[in-house]
């Protein structure tokens, strides 16, 4: 008779094998394996022994006189182990979506958000009255309203056993703290609704709850299984059920977009905005430091009229400030949570008030002003909030690209470039040219900006593909946005610390270029007119001299270009009075 071990048998063997493989011995435990009753039952028990794990399994199977079954078991164990030693979940999805490997796993902010959401779904406590102070201009709490004392029980109010609820909360907290990241092996490239990651989160809690008492249960669970372990139950019992308990009142279709919003809002507030604020402050301090240094301006990459280096840096400062404000302006939509819409936005299988209560619980847990989405159908079917936020990030990337390019060009040289700025020398720049130092921080930042722009294209395509009641590009959209936030936050911090903070002005070089510029002739327009001023500049450029020398020879210049016109000669003294770079920095009185 062809007898094949059922899935539960393989799960039991697999988990037992992992445990013993790591310890290289058999601990105080017994393993019982069962085969489908329809084919007859084969039973054997392993007591504590100090044998090689694989050999012991083979030995015990052979003792039962079934070499074929032994071979099947070992081959299946090897197959499972070849994926990796995962105790709690994810095998089937990884087999079906073996795309990208470890580097393409779901981002950790998503896992943290799953923990927060699942904890809040089971939560039972009182939201204390809190009155917030007037927010700062750039505070992410700017849209936060006063929260009155409101009891919220969420799922425990709706029939979830308090003991189970407390265990789920503890397991979910471990997920939120990153203690169970190893049990989330799934990659971004999976079902477009994020269902597999949602079930990964649900199931991980179940397995972990058995662990305090037993090490013998299934391999497909994180929060539900962990909750069961906390309660002292075996994983296979499903005392804490991933669907009935952890996923109570939820659907992947509203859970994953909620997690997307939680993760994005938390990362923006904790990682991106602080880094941009520090960069803004440093650029502003440089603007003040350089406010008296007059330099030549450039338009179309050609010489233009003067400005101060401080004025130039004030432009960078304002770009970053506006970028911060743009990103924060998008957060009011990001704070709207889809939870409570369930499958298609109608709220089927939830109780009235569940959506508002879980949003309040998430707001309290994260200290961010999350609210339930005004329209759940939009929240499930579209991700315009992500496209909008990504658009703001794209604008920030464009700003930082311009700033980084300006700074590295102004620092080009040291002898044969513009050389107006002296950039920090952080590391050797060339493996062949001794003493060469490159603007590596600018280069890193511009590469990040290019990646963010590419991410925005992907998010735009994903956001436009919300078909009917559900957008199925969710994991990709979330991953790209979180990657943009992380990259911009980290690169802005690095750029500020290792470049902007140490920038110095090369005053001698700036002064030399300023006084050699032909565009100072612009200040002569009111005195001699545009055409004659242009003639002065062209003659000076052709003969390789300065404006002042050309003005001293102005009569011959007039004769050459406008013989019929007779005007007075502009003396050197007149030139000195008219051409004063420090007086060319703004409107005249």
CATH code of the domain covering residue 568: 1.10.40.30
Residue 329 burial (CB < 10 Å; 0-12/13-18/19+)? Answer: middle
Query: Pick from 126, 215, 111: which is nearest to 173 by CA?
Result: 111
Question: Alpha-carbon distance 175 to 465, whole Å?
Answer: 31
pLDDT classification of 448: cutoffs 50, 70, 90:
very high
564 vs 41: which has the higher pLDDT: 41
The predicted structure's pLDDT at residue 157: 54
Mean pLDDT of 354-358: 93
Give 56's pLDDT tier (boundaries 50, 70, 90). Answer: very low
Does residue 298 share a domain with residue 444? Answer: yes
Which of the listed residues 248, 263, 298 is the one where a domain comes to its end?
Answer: 248
Query: What torsion do the CA atoms of 374, 375, 381, 382 make, to the nearest 10 degrees?
Result: -40
CA geometry: angle 114, 115, 116, nearest 5 deg:
90
pLDDT of residue 211: 45
Kindly report whether the peptide bond that precedes residue 169 is cis, defined as omega within 30 degrees of 0: no
CA distance 208 to 562: 93
Q: Are residues 465 and 567 in the same domain?
A: no
Mean pLDDT of the 449-453 span: 99
- Structural domain tally of the chain? 4
Q: How far apart are CA 441 and CA 443, in angstroms?
A: 5
**What average pLDDT does the segment 275-304 reach?**
96
Any domain includes 70:
yes
Mean confidence (pLDDT) of the chain: 74
Give the domain CATH number at 273. Answer: 1.20.200.10
Q: Which of 87-96, 118-127, 203-212, 285-294 has the lowest mean pLDDT?
A: 203-212
Per-residue pLDDT, 39: 35
* pLDDT at site 569: 39
Same domain? For 33 and 157 the reply is no
Q: What is the pLDDT of residue 419?
A: 96
CA nearest neighbour of 331 among 579, 113, 108, 142:
142
Examine the domain organization and report whether 244 and 267 are in the same domain.
no
Return d(Cα 535, Cα 556) in angstroms, integer: 11
C-alpha atoms less than 13 angstroms from C-alpha of 453 in its C-beta half-sphere: 12
Residues 122 and 180 in one domain: yes
245 carries an active-site annotation: no
What global pTM score does this model have? 0.75
What is the DSSP-derived secondary structure letter of residue 109? H
Of 203, 226, 248, the domain-final residue: 248
Query: Regarding predicted confidence, which is higher, 515 or 463?
Result: 463
Residue 523 and residue 496 share a domain = no
User: What was the pLDDT predicted at 422?
Assistant: 96
Structure tokens at 372: 């339930």
Q: Do both 228 and 261 map to the same domain? A: no
pLDDT at 561: 32
The pair of structure tokens assigned to 558 is 């007039």
Looking at the fold, whether 436 and 476 belong to one and the same domain comes out as: yes
What are the beta bridge partners of residue 225? Answer: 205
- What is the pLDDT at residue 82? 43
28-65 core/surface letters (b: 16 or more CB in 10 A; e: else): eeebebebeeeeeebeeebeeeeeebeebbbebbeeee
Main-chain dihedrals φ then ψ at residue 428, nearest 5 degrees: -60, 140
**What integer is the mean pLDDT of 263-291?**
98
Report pLDDT for 190: 85
What is residue 142's predicted lDDT score, i.e. its pLDDT? 44
- pLDDT at position 146, please? 39
Whole-angstrom Cα distance, residue 297 to residue 474?
46
Low-confidence winner among 44-58, 189-203, 282-296 (lowest mean pLDDT) = 44-58
Which domain does 11 fall in, by range?
7-85
Q: Token pair of 195, please?
A: 């269902």
Tracing tokens 């992992």 back to the chain, one arrives at 18
Give the model's pLDDT for residue 163: 76
Give pLDDT, residue 580: 64
What is the pLDDT at residue 241? 67
- The torsion of the CA quartet 394, 461, 113, 204, rounded to 10 degrees, works out to -150
Return the residue matching tokens 């308090």: 162
Average pLDDT, stretch 201-227? Answer: 47
Q: d(Cα 513, Cα 295) in Å, to the nearest integer? A: 8
β-strands 45-46, 31-32 pairing: antiparallel
Is residue 219 a contact partner of residue 241, using CB atoms and an 8 Å limit? no
364 in Cβ contact with 272 (< 8 Å): no
pLDDT digits (tens, 9 = 90+) for 382-394: 999 999 999 999 9
CA distance 383 to 504: 44
pLDDT at 54 over 90: no
Q: Is the separation of the CB atoms in 21 and 53 below 8 Å?
A: yes
Q: Is residue 477 one of the residues assigned to a domain?
A: yes
- Give residue-wise pLDDT tens across range 522-557: 666 666 677 767 777 677 667 766 555 555 554 433
Q: What angle do CA 303, 308, 309 make, to 5 degrees?
A: 90
d(CA 278, CA 496) in angstroms, rounded, equals 7
| pLDDT score at 242 | 65
Is the per-residue pLDDT at 94 higher than 80? Answer: no
Which tops the pLDDT comparison, 232 or 295?
295
Let me know: does 181 contact 89? Beta carbons within 8 Å: no
Residues 289 and 367 in one domain: yes
Domain match, 293 and 398 both = yes
Q: Tell me what pLDDT residue 546 has.
A: 59
> H-type helices in 42-133, by residue range?
53-63, 67-83, 91-96, 108-122
422 and 306 within one domain: yes
* Mean pLDDT value across residues 233-260: 74
Higher pLDDT, residue 24 or 482: 482
Average pLDDT (340-369) is: 94
* 496 and 470 within one domain: yes
Most confident of the ranges 19-23, 208-212, 405-409, 428-432 = 405-409
Which one from 103, 300, 431, 588 is the annotated catalytic residue?
Answer: 300
Check residue 324 and give its pLDDT.
Answer: 98
Residue 98 lies in a domain: no
Annotated catalytic residue: which of 84, 332, 430, 571?
430
Segment 300-333, tens digit of pLDDT: 999 888 999 999 999 999 999 999 999 999 999 9
Which comes out higher in pLDDT, residue 545 or 511? 511
* pLDDT recorded at residue 148: 41
> Is 275 considered catalytic here?
no
pLDDT score at 549: 53
Of 248, 272, 300, the position where a domain reaches its end is 248
With residue 307 as reference, give the H or E element that holds it.
Answer: strand 302-308
CATH number at residue 208: 1.10.275.10
Q: Report d(CA 305, CA 161) in Å as an integer.
A: 75
Q: Which residue has the higher pLDDT, 162 or 499?
A: 499
pLDDT at 415: 87
């Amino acid at each position: 008779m062809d007898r094949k071990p059922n899935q539960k048998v393989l799960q039991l063997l697999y988990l037992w094998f992992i445990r013993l493989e790591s310890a290289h011995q058999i601990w105080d435990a017994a393993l019982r394996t069962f085969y489908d009753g329809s084919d007859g039952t084969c039973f054997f028990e392993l007591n504590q022994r100090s044998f090689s794990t694989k050999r012991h399994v083979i030995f015990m199977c052979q003792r039962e006189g079934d070499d074929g079954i032994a071979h099947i078991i070992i081959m299946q164990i090897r197959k499972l182990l070849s994926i990796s030693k995962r105790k709690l979940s994810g095998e089937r999805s990884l087999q079906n979506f073996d795309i990208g490997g470890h580097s393409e796993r779901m981002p950790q902010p998503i896992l943290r958000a799953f923990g927060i959401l699942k904890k809040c779904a089971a939560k039972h406590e009182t939201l204390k009255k809190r009155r917030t102070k007037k927010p700062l201009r750039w505070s992410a709490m700017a849209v936060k309203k006063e929260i009155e004392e409101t009891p919220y029980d969420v799922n425990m109010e709706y029939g979830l056993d308090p003991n189970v609820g407390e265990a789920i909360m503890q397991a979910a907290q471990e997920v939120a703290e990153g203690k169970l990241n190893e049990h989330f092996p799934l990659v971004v490239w999976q079902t477009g609704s994020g269902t597999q990651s949602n079930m990964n989160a649900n199931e991980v809690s179940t397995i972990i709850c058995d662990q305090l008492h037993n090490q013998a249960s299934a391999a497909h669970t994180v929060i539900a299984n962990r909750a069961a372990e906390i309660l002292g139950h075996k994983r296979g019992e499903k005392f804490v059920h991933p669907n009935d308990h952890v996923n109570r009142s939820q659907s992947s279709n509203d859970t994953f977009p909620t997690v997307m919003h939680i993760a994005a809002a938390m990362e923006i507030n904790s990682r991106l905005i602080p880094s941009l604020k520090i960069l803004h402050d440093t650029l502003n301090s440089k603007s003040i430091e350089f406010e008296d240094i007059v330099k030549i301006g450039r338009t179309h990459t050609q010489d233009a009229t003067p400005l101060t280096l401080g004025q130039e840096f004030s432009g960078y400062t304002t770009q970053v400030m506006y970028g911060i404000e743009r990103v924060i302006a998008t957060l009011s939509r990001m704070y709207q949570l889809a939870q409570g819409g369930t499958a298609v936005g109608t709220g089927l299988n939830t109780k009235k008030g569940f959506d508002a209560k879980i949003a309040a619980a998430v707001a309290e847990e994260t200290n961010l002003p999350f609210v339930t989405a005004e329209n759940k159908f939009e929240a499930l079917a579209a991700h315009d909030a992500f496209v909008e936020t990504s658009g703001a990030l794209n604008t920030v990337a464009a700003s930082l690209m311009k700033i980084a390019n300006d700074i590295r060009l102004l620092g080009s040289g040291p002898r044969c470039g513009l050389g107006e700025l002296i950039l920090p020398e952080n590391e050797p720049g060339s493996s062949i040219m001794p003493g060469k130092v490159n603007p590596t921080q600018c280069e890193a930042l511009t590469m990040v900006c290019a990646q963010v722009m590419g991410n925005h294209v992907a998010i735009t395509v994903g956001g436009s593909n919300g078909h009917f009641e559900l957008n199925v590009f969710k994991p990709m959209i979330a991953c790209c946005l979180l990657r943009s936030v992380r990259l911009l936050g980290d690169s802005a911090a690095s750029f500020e610390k290792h470049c902007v903070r140490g920038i110095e002005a090369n005053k001698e070089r700036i002064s030399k270029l300023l006084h050699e510029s032909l565009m100072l002739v612009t200040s002569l327009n009111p005195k001699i007119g545009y055409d004659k001023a242009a003639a002065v500049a062209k003659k000076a450029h052709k003969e390789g001299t300065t404006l002042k020398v050309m003005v001293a020879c102005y009569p011959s210049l007039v004769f050459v270009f406008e013989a019929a016109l007779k005007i007075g000669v502009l003396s050197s003294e007149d030139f000195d009075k008219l051409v004063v770079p420090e007086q060319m920095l703004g409107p005249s009185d």
